[in-house]
Structure 1
Amino acid sequence: MMKWLFILFIVVPTSELAVLLYTGSKIGVMPTIAIILLTAALGAWLAKSQGLKAWRELQRRASAGEPPGDAVLDGLFILFGGILLLLPGLITDILGLLFLLPPTRRAFKPVLYRQLRKRMKNGVVVIRG
């Protein structure tokens, strides 16, 4: 747990600051700010459109009596991507956008499934019916 807190509160902000300073020195302050604002606007639009699409898929599956399946994972990725886009910085913006785009979400799903299976096997994650 301490490792994750260290990464979250020290490594991520320090990395973001370094990237912002480097980018600002190479392309200028105003273009850097414009990139941040552009990714925020694009991210907000993507989060809304993809979130609504995932919500409709969940509703469709529920009304058909089907298990939610990938729609739940899509919703989690979209939520996490939206949160990352709220954080200031280019690294988190890029990661957030990757979680919002359907092709990259499809690439991340097997990794998440493997992690969930591993945690379920070790008893860290328990699903009760």
Structure 2
Amino acid sequence: MRYFLCILFFIYAYCEISFFIKVADSIGVFLALICIIATSFIGFSLVKTQGLKNFSIMRQKMANHQSLKNEVIKNVALLFAGFFLLIPGFLTDILGVILLIPYVQNYLVKLVVEKMPIQSSVDSSRSYNQSDEIIEGEFIRKDDE
């Protein structure tokens, strides 16, 4: 397994460097470096705004006692998108931008939710009366000696 990860890392590095050389050859090295830095900043700001939007949707769903599975999966996709956008390189930036597309996020949500064995349901119809589960009384805490 360790050798497989090492080989996978070297293949990734080779592809990333080859792609950078081709882009730098066509637009120039300085412009290619500026593009890599700019995509990191743009990606970070996009992930931040979409993450805050998803966080507010999660809070609304929690207040309405609805399932949060979809938003959690979207937030994980945003986390990976931000990770890929912060890694310098054009291939990872492309992958990060693909993960930011809402249609791709919705597809991932459908794919993951269908394979999840756990079904979550929230019983929001139950009303709690004061006499249901509250026991009034006094107590004294004693240490065991």
Runs (4+) off by over 6 Å: none
Code of the aligned partner of 1:57: I
Give the unaligned 5+ runs of structure 1. 121-126
Structure 2 counterpart of 1:19: 19
TM-score (norm. length: structure 2): 0.71
Aligned to 2:126: none
> Cα 1:63–1:15, aligned 2, differ >3 Å: closer, same or farther?
same
- Which structure carries more helix by proportion? 1
CA distance in 2, matches of 1:51, 1:63: 18
| Offset of residue 47 of structure 1 | 0.5
**TM-score normalized with structure 1 length:** 0.79
Moved more, 17-26 or 3-12: 3-12
Equivalent-residue separation in structure 2 for 1:8 and 1:49 (angstroms): 32
Q: Hey, what does 2:131 align to over in structure 1? A: none
Alignment partner, residue 71 of structure 1: 71
How much is the aligned-residue C-alpha RMSD, in angstroms?
2.5
Identify the residue that residue 53 of structure 1 maps to in structure 2.
Answer: 53
Which one-letter code corresponds to 1:99 in the other structure?
L
What is the rounded CA distance, in whole Å, between the counterparts of 2:51 and 2:12 in structure 1?
26
CA gap of 1:4–1:49, structure 2 versus 1, over 3 A, is farther
Unaligned runs of 5+ in 2: 121-145
Partner of 2:134: none
Are 1:109 and 2:109 an aligned pair? yes
CA distance in 1, matches of 2:99, 2:7: 19
Between structure 1 and structure 2, the one with the greater Rg is 2
Q: Following the alignment from structure 2 to structure 1, what is the Cα–Cα distance between the partners of residues 7 and 107?
A: 24
Aligned-partner SS, 1:43: helix
- Which residue of 2 is the match for residue 97 of structure 1? 97
Amino acid at match of 2:9: F
What amino acid maps onto 2:80 in structure 1? F
* Offset of residue 31 of structure 1: 1.5
Q: Percent identity?
A: 28
The residue identity in structure 2 corresponding to 1:11 is I
Residue 37 of structure 1 aligns with an amino acid whose one-letter code is: I
Q: Give the Cα separation in 2 of the matches to 1:7 and 1:110.
A: 32
